[in-house]
Amino acid sequence: MNQEIEIEFKNLLLEEEYNRLIKTFALHSEARKHQTNHYFDTKDMDLKEKNSALRIREKGNEFILTLKEPHIEGLLETHQSLSTEEVQLALNEGLIPDGLVKKQIVKLLEKHTITFTYLGYLTTERIEKKLNDGLLVLDKSTYFNVVDYEIELECSKANSGQAFFNDLLDVNKIPRRMTPNKIERFYKEKLLRESERY
């Protein structure tokens, strides 16, 4: 599928809460998957200004280019598979190949000539479990020297998904926390480190 609407609910966790949920849901270490998100934007951070994000997700030998942009029901995700050569061009020269993602970016930014900058990467150790109400995801993410923990519920219906997610937090005595998405947390840390250099 090249485009999809993503509806998800998320909450940052303490390490103790993360470990407790692994036990509660009987999640095993062999279920852990590793993935790396490589983030891109223009020099002027045009995508960020539009509350959008561009990444290449690396899982094993598979590379998926994804544009995330706001949508009335959640996020509109546009995907495109990349070859190893296309990934290297993106990382080294900021060149994003032609295709559905680039067309969507041109439409979003209303620019035909766009140069991208590679911002860096975030690595995630992910555990997933399918539930009746959606896909439960526990993430341990590392970027710069930061490690954070997060629970997500990916679902098809916003109302029932929100109710289930709220119940899950309540039952497990986990307080609701403001939870920016991964790229926002990455940006915040990157800006902090850049400001410390000056």
Alpha-carbon Rg for the chain in angstroms: 17
CB contact at 8 A, 105 and 114: yes
pLDDT in tens, the chain (198 residues): 588 888 999 999 999 999 999 999 988 766 799 999 999 999 999 999 999 999 999 999 999 999 999 988 788 999 999 999 999 999 999 999 999 999 999 999 998 788 999 999 999 999 999 999 999 999 999 999 999 999 999 998 999 999 999 999 999 999 999 999 999 999 999 988 888 776
Q: Are 168 and 153 in contact (CB under 8 A)?
A: yes
Check: pTM over 0.85? Answer yes or no: yes
Q: Topology of 3-196 in CATH?
A: Hypothetical Protein Pfu-838710-001 (2.40.320)
β-sheet bridge partners, residue 54: 40, 67
Cα–Cα distance, 186 to 119 (Å, whole number): 9
pLDDT at 198: 63
Only one residue has tokens 């997933």, namely 128
Q: Domain boundaries in the chain?
A: 3-196
- How many residues would you count in the chain? 198
pLDDT at 129: 93
pLDDT value for 178 = 95
Question: What is the structure's pLDDT at 1?
Answer: 57
> What does the alpha-carbon distance between residue 39 and residue 42 come to, in Å, rounded to a whole number?
11
